[in-house]
Amino acid sequence: MSAVYLPAFFVSLIDLLEDYYKFDAIPDTGHIQVHKTTVKISYPLATAYFLSFLLRIRKQVPAVKMAPSKGRSHDERFMGDASIDDLLTPEQIFTSLLFEQRSSKVIQDMRKTQNIYPVFEKRCAVLQCNSDCIEMDIAAVDTILTNSILYSKMGELICFQYLSKLSSNSDLTPQLEDYFLRGDGRNPFSQTAKEFVIEYQENRCFYCGQVLDNKNTDKKPRADHFIPWVFIKSSNIENLVYACNNCNSNKSNRLPTTSIFNNLLQRNVPKSKFWRKYPEEITKLDERIDRWIRNYYQASEQLSTGWKPDFIA
Ligand SMILES: [Zn+2]
């Protein structure tokens, strides 16, 4: 197993658990079973999340190398206990994951590495790969969910360090940085949505109202996930506002106050001026807005709330 796949797998597992616990988004088809002391996750479900995590990176930063190619040298520091599997290309790993015969082997290899993630002690097996499912201790699941933002960030940081080391082309580093550290690239807003929103806001920051300016670091326009990405994990236009760099970085993973939320809700209610002007057709808008409102309140139970800008221009 290449070193990058461990943290990548772990981050995808956190996504999976969060989705399950937050949204009940995974239909009960037996892919995830919660028992008194353990949580059992099927390989197809874990694999789907793992693949989607890897493919999102590939889609955003196509030139990135995910693993050393056969016979090439690689940086020893990032390759703890290397085996022949380290020399698979991402395509080979995807293919082997897609075709059942090796899928459990790839994940089961993680079994050998008890220390699947540095935050856990060596003797603590966070998960066990059984013949038919991944089994996790419910206490470990609780710990992971309580600290999910921290663990995800750490996992992403490890992926970032590894991948930028592996991809010697230094032009890629800023792209990887955007992807992993700023979170912009993981699931970007559509270009149409971005252009429309910035114009709708008359090129002003949604939060503090100052005029956005590409040439000024503090005032640089940033596409902002109103409900932070760490919670919402999607980039729909109803959750997009433009903010100045200052507000965007200051807000970070916090949730804006209810009164700021109400401002955005006014923009977002179906049949508003905003939607009448928007050039693309959006299906099931009512449902989407309802879900977005629910997400805001769900997020307020998980994230730090009450964020507002330092000053209003
Ligand atoms: Zn601002």
Summarize pLDDT for 160-212 with one digit per residue, the tens: 777 777 666 666 677 776 666 665 555 578 889 999 999 999 999 999 999 99
- Could you tell me if 205 and 198 are in contact, meaning their C-beta atoms sit under 8 angstroms apart? no
Question: How far, in Å, from the CA of 305 to the mean position of ligand 1?
Answer: 17
pLDDT in tens, 245-301: 999 989 988 999 999 999 999 999 999 999 999 999 898 999 999 999 999 998 898
pLDDT, position 126: 63
If one counts every other C-beta atom within 10 angstroms of the C-beta of residue 84, the result is: 7
How far does residue 245's CA lie from ligand 1's centre (Å)?
A: 7
| DSSP letters for 189-214 | PPHHHHHHHHHHTTTB-TTT-PBP-T
pLDDT above 70 coverage of the chain, percent: 65
Q: How far is the CA of 169 from the centre of ligand 1 (A)?
A: 34
Report residue 264 CA to chain centroid gap.
Answer: 23
For 272-278, the CB contacts below 8 A with 24+ separation are 274/200, 277/196, 277/200, 278/196, 278/237
Q: What's the CA-to-centroid distance between 303 and ligand 1, angstroms?
A: 20
The chain-wide mean pLDDT, for the chain, equals 74
Taking CA atoms, 72 is separated from 87, 161, 260, in Å, by 8, 19, 53
Query: How many angstroms is it from 60 CA to the middle of ligand 1?
Result: 27
Measured in Å, residue 204 CA sits from the centre of ligand 1 at 8
d(CA 219, ligand 1 centre) in Å: 7
Sequence spans of domains, the chain? 5-180, 187-300
User: pLDDT value at position 185?
Assistant: 54
